[in-house]
Amino acid sequence: MQVTDLFVSAPGKAILHGEHAVVHGKVALAVSLNLRTYLRLKATTTGKVCINLPNIDTFYSWDLSELEQLISYSGGKKEEGKLLDAELVGRLRDFIGVTNGNLDTCSMASLSFLYIYISLFRSSELPSLEVTVWSELPTGAGLGSSAAYSVCLAAALLCASGAIPTPLKEWDHTARWCQEDLELINSWAFQGEMIIHGNPSGVDNAVGTWGGMLRFLAGKIIPLSRVPLLRILLTNTKVPRSTKVLVARVKDKINKFPSIMAPVLDSVDAISCTCEKVLSEMTCEPITGEHYNTLEELIDINQHHLNVMGVGHPALDTLCQVTLARGLHSKLTGAGGGGCGITLLRPETDSTVVQTTVQDLRDLGFDCWETSIGGPGVQQHSPVSVKEEILEVLNRY
């Protein structure tokens, strides 16, 4: 099979409301960021598959002959109603040497790559290729780095397998796929997320695939086309955490206290719906201070709920207190337990207030920056449309 070289990218995301509750069938509102993960796929003739993941200091190379063994052993059938081929996952775990409880970054990243690669090429010949990924997103910090990685893998490997076309024309800088192809990319990215997360809702890979702001409910994705321009401050507390562990922790709490936790999840659902309504009002009537007051109150209530779910962290409490001292409201975003928080900036928030808040947070050792939201979903790039410093990293290997 003739594999073509290509560059793809996918955005990270911030969840405005609904993290964790969305895993249990409640509404989430999420938006793409202007921070992206980039992937370069290169056809080779080495008889090997190589992955270079410099963000996590991971570099692997496998002989095609070793990987072919894994196909012949696996039956290749998914169990009825199951999304993942459990037998293949088991063989890959043995091959890489990961035990069930092992969550290390490198193992999860290589496992999801190998799963998608072998699944897509198992019925043809395994191609010799090299994949390099570089991300502007912090890894494992709540901004959907796992989903952006999985979406890039899915898009690139689906193109390489011929299951979807490469949409870029000679004269284009960037190009996107048609709806049907995006759905296929999203479904393979979801499988990558299942390997990294355990039990993902699918909201993160949906944002990585489609971009923009969307409402997500039980696998149903509704793009919100009319949304006001929101100014958001992103803060990375740099406290490491694992989405898989946090999602499991919330599940345990729900199982232990079903009648206590059910109203909390319902309340988060109502927060997402109320937020969506306010955002829609803000696009069709003059924006008032009252709109922002409501958005701020929703942020505060949700942050309390997330603490009740057991996914807070003292560093996130500090973030909320420090920003509130400047009149700004914050909540964690993504899985919590550390990682990132979002702070809503009002249109009238003075730039000196923003600057002093950013400085306060940096003095605490956090990373903090104002971000723009709503970047495009997964894209194919011509090399000239990839930022120079990113191209330099991708071409280094």
Ligand X SMILES: Nc1ncnc2c1ncn2[C@@H]1O[C@H](COP(=O)(O)OP(=O)(O)OP(=O)(O)O)[C@@H](O)[C@H]1O
Which residues make up the interface to ligand MEV (CB under 6 A)? 15, 19-20, 22-23, 144, 197, 200-201, 203-204, 243, 247, 334-335
Least distance (Å) from ligand X to the CB of residue 167? 23
Q: Check 107, 110, 181, 204 and give the catalytic one.
A: 204
| Residue 31 contacts ligand X per CB under 6 A | no
9, 37, 201, 357: residue in contact with ligand X (rule CB under 6 A): 37
Least distance (Å) from Mg ion to the CB of residue 285? 36
| Residue 342 contacts ligand X per CB under 6 A | no
| Residue 144 contacts ligand X per CB under 6 A | yes
9, 32, 132, 146: residue in contact with Mg ion (rule CB under 5 A): 146
Tell me, yes or no, if 146 is annotated catalytic.
yes
**Token duo for residue 267:** 């309340």
Strands 231-236 and 367-371: antiparallel
Give Rg (Cα) of the chain: 21
Which of the listed partners (Mg ion, ligand X, ligand MEV, none) does 55 bind, with a CB threshold of 5 to 8 Å by partner kind?
A: ligand X
108 burial type by CB count under 10 A (0-12 exposed, 13-18 middle, 19+ buried): buried
Concatenating the DSSP letter of every residue in 372-394 gives -B--B-SEEE-GGGS-HHHHHHH
305 burial type by CB count under 10 A (0-12 exposed, 13-18 middle, 19+ buried): buried
Q: Which residue is nearest to ligand MEV (CB)?
A: 201
Residue 335 near residue 246 (C-beta atoms within 8 A): yes
Q: Which is nearer to Mg ion, 12 or 312 (CB)?
A: 12
Least distance (Å) from Mg ion to the CB of residue 193? 7
Residue 144 near residue 234 (C-beta atoms within 8 A): no
- Residue 239 DSSP SS3: coil
Least distance (Å) from ligand MEV to the CB of residue 43? 33
**Token duo for residue 232:** 């958001």
Q: Check 110, 146, 150, 272 and give the catalytic one.
A: 146
Total of residues contacting ligand X (CB under 6 A): 26
Nearest Cα residue to 202 out of 212, 47, 215: 215
Q: Where does this chain touch ligand X (CB under 6 A) — which range of 38-46, 132-140, 216-224, 378-386? A: 132-140
Residue 64 near residue 49 (C-beta atoms within 8 A): yes
Q: Where does this chain touch Mg ion (CB under 5 A) — which range of 45-53, 114-122, 240-248, 315-323? A: 240-248
Q: Which is nearer to ligand MEV, 160 or 332 (CB)?
A: 332
Alpha carbons within 13 A on the beta-carbon side of 365: 7
Q: In this structure, what DSSP letter does residue 211 have? A: B
Q: Which is nearer to ligand X, 28 or 344 (CB)?
A: 28
- In sequence order, which residues have a C-beta less than 8 Å from that of residue 59 and are 6 or more positions away? 50, 51, 52, 53, 397
**Token duo for residue 29:** 């509102």
Least distance (Å) from ligand MEV to the CB of residue 327? 28
Least distance (Å) from ligand MEV to the CB of residue 235? 16
Q: Which is nearer to ligand MEV, 3 or 316 (CB)?
A: 316
Amino acid at 33: L
18, 127, 140, 377: residue in contact with ligand X (rule CB under 6 A): 140
| Residue 108 contacts ligand X per CB under 6 A | yes
| Residue 119 contacts Mg ion per CB under 5 A | no
Strands 6-17 and 28-43: antiparallel
| Residue 377 contacts ligand X per CB under 6 A | no
Which of the listed partners (Mg ion, ligand MEV, ligand X, none) does 237 bind, with a CB threshold of 5 to 8 Å by partner kind?
A: none
Tell me, yes or no, if 204 is annotated catalytic.
yes
Q: Which is nearer to Mg ion, 295 or 316 (CB)?
A: 316
User: Look-up: residue for tokens 């035990």?
Assistant: 99
d(CA 271, CA 12): 23
* Residues carrying an active site annotation: 146, 204
